[in-house]
Amino acid sequence: MRFDIITIFPKIFDSYFGESILKRAQSKKLIEIGVHDLRQWAAGKHRSVDDSPYGGGPGMIFKVEPLFKAVATFKKLKVKSSKLKIKRRVILFSAKGKQFVQADARRLAKYDQLILICGRYEGVDERVAKYIADEELSVGNFVLTGGEIPAMIIVDTVSRLIPEVLGKKESLEEESFLKVQSSKFKVQSYLEYPQYTRPEKFRGWKVPEVLLSGNHKKIEEWRENN
């Protein structure tokens, strides 16, 4: 899997991608992460990537030309793939985009390359969403300063689903089932059951006795109900 991130603040990613699981995954060549300064594709002496919106309004918006050139560049990259045709997906982070959920992480993990566009300021020229991006995603019902944090979230969640990125297979997805009243079906959840470790007692707070019992069947039932 290769991730190409388009941003005007590339150094924001240094710390997060340079630590822990993502660092090891890159060292093992399981994933590739390219972080690119959009200004490389901007014209003029000042490498300006934004301008005021037509019709007036506050703030500045990203121009379509540099983003078009950047995405075109990454679409030409040779990406390792076992498939005859490389599967690519261009994602624009936007407050009006579809909310990102775990099912999207599973879907995106099937691609060979994700090109991630991080907006800033008052937004991005709508032609980017219409003609360049394959989809718009939001990470929640709130407004962020830019798309850099959403890009980190996508890289993190999708990378976890790539074989060998995580050390333990059971860590891949801690899934429990929530019981729904008035329904015969179980709804899949990505929330973990409560977990405890030593000491058994601390300040009068005790570990549930069932977890100390060694009875795996009862422990499994407890986990399903909590």
Domain ranges of the chain: 2-159, 175-224
Lowest mean per-residue pLDDT among 10-14, 43-47, 131-135, 186-190: 186-190
* CA gap 128, 112 in Å, rounded: 22
Average per-residue pLDDT for the chain = 88
- The yes/no answer on whether domain 175-224 falls in CATH 1.10.1270.20 is yes
User: Residue 176: what pLDDT?
Assistant: 37
Residue 126 main-chain phi, psi, to 5 deg: -60, -25
In terms of pLDDT, which residue wins out, 83 or 76? 76
pTM of the model: 0.83
Q: Do 2-159 and 175-224 have matching folds? A: no
Calculate Rg over the CA atoms of the chain.
22
Confidence of residue 169 (pLDDT cuts 50, 70, 90): low
The architecture CATH gives domain 2-159:
3-Layer(aba) Sandwich (3.40)
Cα three-residue angle 166-169-173, rounded to 5 degrees: 85
Q: What average pLDDT does the segment 144-169 reach?
A: 92
User: Residue 59: what pLDDT?
Assistant: 87
